[in-house]
Every structure is written in structure tokens, then in C-alpha cells.
Amino acid sequence: MGHGGMNCQLKTVRLILIIINVIFFLIGATLFGEGIDLLITRRFHSFIEFLFNIENGKITKNIIFSNEILYIFKIIPGFIFIFTGFFGCSGAITQMQSLLFCYFSFVGIILIFQTIIILSLIAFRIYTKQQLISIVQLFIRDKYKGPLEKTFQLKSFLLDSLMYHFKCCGIDSKYDFNITNSWNRTNPWWNTSMLIENRDFKYPLTCCPMNNTFNDILSCGINGTYIQELSCYEKITDIFYSMKEIILFGTVFIITIEMLALIFVLIIHNRNQVHRIDCAMEELPPAYSSRTRINNSNLYFQI
């Protein structure tokens, strides 16, 4: 009766773990597939194409980077979900120690990483802010290429995309772009009939409101007219505090699911160990009875 109850509990735990990881796998496969599709079909516009469309009066203002940023942020999370779901589901079905160990290790690493980030943001908020701003400012100074760079550069793209979507400029302020060693500031729309002051951009065009006319956008990049004054760090902080309840609930939910998954893996591992011990004990020869031991001892003394 006891073994039957334990087997039923083990089957229930395995079933829950399988369901959780099947959901993870399906989510990951969907994200990964969509990301690969966007990467292959290239259904997105570069920033310079976007501006040329505005110049020509085409209505494409809301689709800049919309697909390109999605493919980047779909492939990586999709792969993580697929990896987690595969090892979790396979480990729960086969109960192979290697699969369960890989799943336990991977989920444990993710959980530790999340915990470190949360504790850093809470306990070392000022230090984290200073380090983040310092790193991004150093990148802007030495490696930022600007939004009109024809050769795709991921870090520059992410910064431009961040400023465009969050309507902000610079990580600390618009003055982050005062010194840039890798950014070609040349205005591709400049000609000899224009003022020499209009030949170079002072700020990236991603710092400018895109609901303005093309000339206003260029004027913003050259002179700072109508530029987004709010820094990206302040903007993200404002968004975080406005959605802190939702973010807190989502974080607690994800951590709870991960901890339950780890507990379920430990339960399955423990039950497998107990089962192996039981099987090993059953394969041992039966113990001698007391009568057999007495008879053997009498036989020994007779000899």
C-alpha cells in the first residue's frame, strides 16, 4: 500500500513536470521559429531606409526596427525555452540521471542569475546605476556607430532601438554624444546649397521625435530642436515604477515555477535512488533463518 501510494505521487510529480516543460518547449519553439523566419525573410527596414521613406512621404513611421528587434529578442529566449523544455520533459519521461542533472543545473543557473540581478538592483542600486551608465557612456565614446551606419552593428542597433522606442536620448543625457570616436556624423542629405553648420549631426536621429516632418527630424539631429530631453535610464526607471506591481508578480511567478521544477527533479531523483536500493536488496540472497544458523553451527562443532 505504501509503495503504491509513493508510485502514485511520483507519477503525479512527473506528470506536472512534463506539462510545465511541454509548455516551455512550445513557447520556445514558437519564439525561435518566428525569430528565424524574420531573420531569413528580413522583413524590416534599416533606419536610413526609414528616413528615406519619411522624406518621400510614405507612411512607415511606426515600423522602424519593429521586426528586426523582434527577431533578436525572439531567437535567444526561444532557444532558452526549447533547451529547458527538452531536458525537463525528456528527464521526467525517461528519468535518466544525466538529463535530470542537465535540467537541474540549467534551471539552477538561471535561478541564481536572476537572484544575483535582483539583489544587485535592490542592495547596490546606486552602484549598479553608476556602473551601467559608465559602461554605456564608454561604449558611446569608443564604439557607437550611429543609426545611419550601413554595416549592422548589434550594440549600436540596440542603443538606437532603445532610444527610438522609449523616446529618450543617451543613457544619462543627450550630452553623452558630445564625444564619439567611431560615429560618422556626416549628414547624407547635405549639399553645397546648405549651411556648413548643417553638414554634421550633433545628436543621433534616434533621439528625435519621428512624428515630425523630415526637415524637423534633420533639424533635431543637427541643432537639437525638439530633441528627447529625458535620458534612457530615467525613462526605464519611470516605466519600472509605473509597472512595479506587474513586474513583481511576474518575477515571483517565474521564480516559483523554477523552484517547483527544481523540487520536482529532486523528488524524482530521490525516488529513483530508493527504487534502486529496493531492487538491489531484492537481488541479494535471502538471509539465513535462526534454525538454519543453529544447524550450521552444530554441523561445524561436529566436524
**Residue 256 domain-assigned (yes or no):** yes
Do 212 and 292 fall within a single domain?
no
Same domain, residue pair 119 and 252 = yes
* 3-state SS, residue 186: strand
Range of the domain at 122: 10-126+248-302
Coil/strand/helix, residue 210: coil
Q: Are 63 and 38 in contact (CB under 8 A)?
A: no
Q: Could you tell me if 96 and 166 lie in one domain?
A: no
Per the structure, the count of domains in the chain is: 2
Tell me if 132 is assigned to some domain. no
How far apart CA 99 and CA 85 sit, in angstroms, is 11
Which residues fall within 8 angstroms of residue 82, CB to CB, at 6 or more apart?
Answer: 24, 25, 28, 29, 32
Q: Answer whether residue 294 is part of any domain.
A: yes
Given this model, what pLDDT does residue 302 score?
53
In a domain, 202, yes or no: yes
The reply to whether 82 and 152 lie within a common domain is no
Domain assignment present for residue 30? The answer is yes
Chain centroid to CA 176: how far?
27
Question: Are residues 265 and 212 part of one domain?
Answer: no
Residue 282 sits in the same domain as residue 193: no
Neighbours of 230 (CB within 10 A): 15
**Within 13 Å of residue 299, how many CA atoms lie on the same side as its CB?**
6
Same domain assignment for residues 212 and 274: no
Q: What is the per-residue pLDDT for 73?
A: 75
What pLDDT sits at residue 123? Answer: 83
| Residue 131, in any domain of the structure | no
Mean pLDDT by 10 residues, the chain (303 residues): 58 85 90 79 56 53 49 81 88 83 87 85 85 94 87 80 89 93 89 84 90 83 91 92 86 85 83 70 57 50 49
Q: Could you say which of 184, 204, 230 is where a domain stops?
A: 230
pLDDT of residue 2: 45
Say if residue 195 is in the same domain as residue 104: no
Same domain, 16 and 101: yes
What is the distance between the alpha carbons of residues 221 and 201, in angstroms, rounded to a whole number? 5
Please, what's the largest Cα pairwise distance for the chain?
126
Asked which of 230, 259, 275 is the last residue of a domain, the reply is 230
Q: Are residues 115 and 24 in the same domain?
A: yes
Residues 89 and 113 placed together within one structural domain of the fold: yes
Looking up cell 522602424 gives 64
Between vectors from CA 87 to CA 82 and to CA 90, what angle results, nearest 5°? 115
Domain contains 238? no
In terms of DSSP H, where are the helices of the chain? 2-41, 47-55, 66-94, 97-123, 125-142, 154-166, 214-223, 232-242, 244-283, 290-302
Which among 168, 197, 230 is the end of a domain? Answer: 230
Rg (CA), the chain: 31
Are 114 and 146 found together in one domain?
A: no
Task: Provide the pLDDT for residue 59.
Answer: 41
Residue 134 in domain: no
Q: Please report, to the nearest 10 degrees, the dihedral formed by the alpha carbons of residues 73, 76, 81, 87 taken in order.
A: 180
